[in-house]
Amino acid sequence: MHLFERFRLLAALAYFVTAAAQAPCMASDDPPKVGQTVADFELPALDGGTVKLSDAAKTGPVVLVVLRGFPGYQCPVCNKQVGQFLGQAEAFKAAGATVLMVYPGVKMNLKQRAEEFMTGKTLPDHFRLLVDGDYKFTNAYNLRWDAPNKTAYPSTFIIQPDMKVSFAVVSKTHGGRAQAGDVLKALSARP
Confidence (pLDDT) at 23: 42
pLDDT in tens, 77-122: 999 999 999 999 999 999 999 999 999 998 899 999 999 999 999 9
Domains of the chain: 3-189 (3.40.30.10)
The one-character DSSP state at 16 is H
CA distances from 147 to 21, 85, 136, 152, 172 (A): 32, 27, 17, 10, 12
Please name the amino acid found at residue 6.
Answer: R
CA distances from 85 to 30, 54, 60, 96, 180 (A): 26, 22, 18, 14, 5
Residue 63 phi, psi (nearest 5): -95, 115
Nearest alpha carbon to residue 158 among 19, 42, 32, 15: 32
pTM: 0.83
Higher pLDDT, 148 or 153: 153
Confidence (pLDDT) at 183: 97
Nearest alpha carbon to residue 138 among 69, 77, 48, 59: 69
SS3 content of the chain, % helix, strand, coil (to 5): 35, 20, 40
CB 161 within 8 A of CB 58: yes
Confidence (pLDDT) at 28: 63
pLDDT in tens, 28-53: 689 999 999 999 999 999 999 999 99
Confidence (pLDDT) at 6: 52
Confidence (pLDDT) at 20: 40
